[in-house]
Each structure stands twice: as C-alpha cells, then as structure tokens.
Amino acid sequence: MASPLILREGEPTRLVELPRSIADALAASGVVQIGFTDRPGWWEVAASTHIGVISVGGLQVVIQPKIDINRLVFLMGYARRPDYWRDERVHLDAAADLPEALADAFVRLATRALDQGLLKGYQTVEETLPVLRGRIREADQLRRRWGRSIPLEVRYDEFTVDIAENRLLLAAVERLLRTPQVGVRHRGGLQRLRLILSDVTAPVRGGARPSWTPSRLNARYMPALELAELVLDGRSFEQRVGDLVVSGYLFNMAKVFEDFVTVALREALKPYGGRSRLQYATHLDEDANLPIRPDFVWLEEGRPRIVADAKYKAEKPSGFPQADLYQMLAYCTVLGLPEGHLVYAKGNEDAHAHVVRRAGVRIVTHALDLDVEPVKLLATVAELVEILVSSTEREPAFSGRLHG
C-alpha cells in the first residue's frame, strides 16, 4: 500500500498527484475537497470539516484535527456526559492519528476493566421451554399454545455476562477492528478482548446501541464505557464509486463543536434557573410552513430570553456571504429578542458585534479557543454566559407570535 496522504483540517489546498478514478471517488465522498488544475493528474486537495481516515483504491487519506486529540476527546465526551468529563479523563497518544490513538486507549482501558472478570447482571429472558422456569407469559401461552400444557411461554431473570455494558464494549471492539488505520499492534489486543467477550451477544450492524446507566456496580467499567461511546460516535461508512470502494471512519468537527457548545451553555446556565432547549423547534412564518431550529434557546418563565447558534466555521456560500448573520436575524425576529449570539471556533471567525439597520437587532459573534485546558475552556463558557444573561436586560426588539 502506498504511503498515506496526510491532510490537516483547516490548512489551505495543496497539489497532489492522483489517478482520476481516485480523485473522483474522493470528491464523491464529500469528505475531501478536490479541485482541477492545469496539470494532468494533479489536483488541489484540502480537508473539509471531517477528521479521521478514508481508504480508496489502495490509498489511505488521514485527516488530522487542528487541535490536540486529547482536547478533541474532551469536547466529544463532555457533550455526552458533562458530569463525568470535567477534565481530560482519558489520555490519548497525541502523536498518533485519531483512529490509532482511540484504539490504543480503548484496548488499555478495556483490558484494565476486564482484568477483574466480566461484569454480570440480571437480564430478563423470554423463552419457550418444556419445563416451568420463572413465570408463564399467560397472554402468549393462550395465544400460541391454546389447549396445550407444553411447551411453556416463560419469562425469567438470568444472572449473566450478556448485559448492556459488555455488549457496548464488544460493539466498540468490532467497530475498531473494521476501522482503517488501526494497525497490527492494536488488532492483537482487540482480538483478545473479543475472545474474552465471546459469551456476549455480538452487535448487529446498524442496530441500536446498548444503553447503560452509571452505578456503583459498573464503576470500574466507566472509563472504558465512556471511550466505547466515543468510538461508536464515529461514522463508519462504505460506498462504491465506479469500480472503487470508499470506506472510512470519520468525525464531523462541526457536529462535535455544536454538541459541545450547546451542552456547555446549558450546564453554565443552570445556576440562573430557567430552562435550556437544544434545537428549539419553531417556525419562521405565521402559517408554520417554514420550520427553524436555533441550536440553543434559554427560556425564563416560558419566554425565550437567549438565542445562540454554534458555528464551527462561518457559512459564506457564493452570492450569500453572511448567511450566519441572516439566519440569526431571522431567529431574533421570530423569538422577539433584541440580541442574538453566534459562537465560532477561534481561528475560523473573529469576534464582532453588528447592529442591523432599522431593526435595532444586535448580533454578536464570539470565538472559543478550543486548544486550551478543559478547565479554562469551561471557564470561558461561563464568562460567555454572563454576557448572554446581561443581554436579557434589554427590551425586546419585536414581540411576535411564536410557533413552538
């Protein structure tokens, strides 16, 4: 296999020599930006907002995040469970590519969790048996076995290793084994974990993720379970473009950023009371035909008081260069608010304040530095919340009818 093509998120385009079929496949994936040049066989290539690895025609393309991967894992973890991820709970090899680093940390944490043996728990089982065990499912017995004494439709509780926690670990093992760029060094450890979990129900691809609840009983599993959740958050895909198959394992940085910002705002606003709503559903028009969903709305006594949107990068499509500002103006108008807030990742957009002519609506852009220690990042969000709360003291610019 040829040496991987290393791209870094946010870096400018670079000239890369590629066969036309591979360039077309990469362009079709939507993960990499491909542009024509006047040199046959050479292309302008740049990463989009996805990070991870894709493989096509013997070429692996590694897309690295522009922030340290430990900061990245904190952002993803905090959005899932802020009470657990208050700092960098899991340390990854910052010099490794993301899939390899995740595999390394997962093998280490899962092995440590399973060293004391598999966790067991009670699972409710429904079966058809020739003898009574547990309780008869009377409705099923009458419907399926009318007039017959055996077999019996029964329900019982079994103390087993086939529980959600072990299923989640096995699902993460299977995902990593299918992931490009996870090398031989980690595949041995993953195969050992698969063997230890051999009595656990194997995950169904595309099936629902096992659901678990933190408790005293599964405390020793928690670091491995949290990392397993992050492993499964990655998008694993495979698609055919012509004669080539494109496969990959990716995270969308725009989604990672949006999830972190909205959850961090919600947590920082808890001392102020009120109620936070993520992806607040309302409509732009009076007839409720045009739905809109601001990323974050904070309500006080049922009335919207703060609106914010998380934008990893500024949206500036051709012919519509200030799309984010127009969108926020619409949100403020519909919600009857004098001020709206756009939160960007630092380096992708600067902080500004814009007052809309003849409307009096003020749109403020903020920039979060993601490449700082978690405690400092959360402190910055707390400072941002103070600014947002102070904005509620202004009178509404417009009081319109809301469509929730």
Q: Percent of the chain having pLDDT more than 90?
A: 55
The per-residue pLDDT for 130 is 79
Structural domain includes residue 380: yes
pLDDT, residue 88, reads 62
Do the domain assignments include residue 172? yes
**94, 68 in Cβ contact below 8 A?**
yes
Same domain, 72 and 59: no
Range picked from 27-36, 253-262, 387-396 for highest mean pLDDT: 253-262
The closest of 257, 212, 249, 213 to 233, measured between CA atoms, is: 249
Report d(CA 21, CA 57) in Å as an integer. 9
Q: Is residue 87 assigned to a domain?
A: yes
Please give the pLDDT value at position 1.
54
Domain range for 301: 273-391
> What pLDDT shows up at residue 202?
87
Task: Report yes or no on 36 lying in a domain.
Answer: yes
Question: What digits encode the pLDDT tens for the residues 242-298?
Answer: 788 888 899 999 999 999 999 999 999 999 999 999 999 999 999 999 999 999 999
Do 59 and 73 lie in one domain? The reply is: no
Instruction: Clarify whether residues 109 and 206 are in a common domain.
Output: yes
- Using alpha carbons, list the distances in angstroms from residue 368 to 263, 276, 344, 353: 14, 20, 6, 15
Cα dihedral 402, 322, 252, 331, rounded to 10, equals: -10
Please indicate, yes or no, whether residues 290 and 387 belong to a single structural domain of this protein. Answer: yes
In a domain, 260, yes or no: no
What CATH number should be reported for the domain holding residue 323?
3.40.1350
For the cut 50, the answer to whether the pLDDT of residue 318 exceeds it is: no
pLDDT of residue 319: 47
CB 343 within 8 A of CB 310: yes
Q: What mean pLDDT, rounded, does the chain reach?
A: 87
More confident call, 400 vs 389: 389
Q: What is the pLDDT of residues 174-228, one digit of tens each?
A: 999 988 778 778 889 999 999 999 999 888 877 788 889 899 999 999 999 999 9
Domain boundary among 195, 216, 251: 251
For residue 277, what are the CA distances in angstroms to 282, 286, 293, 330, 335?
Answer: 12, 22, 10, 18, 13
Are 221 and 300 contained in the same domain? no
Which of 185, 26, 211 is CA-nearest to residue 99? 185
Verify that 112 and 226 share a domain, yes or no.
Answer: yes
Determine, yes or no, domain membership for 396: no
Per the structure, the count of domains in the chain is 4
- Prediction pTM value: 0.83
| Residue 402 pLDDT grade (very low, low, confident, very high; cuts 50, 70, 90) | very low
Give the whole-angstrom CA distance, residue 160 versus residue 122: 6
Question: DSSP per residue over 118-173, as a string?
Answer: ---EEEEEEEEESS--SEE-HHHHHHHSTT---SEEEEEEEEES-SHHHHHHHHHH
pLDDT band at 320 (very low <50, low <70, confident <90, very high): very low
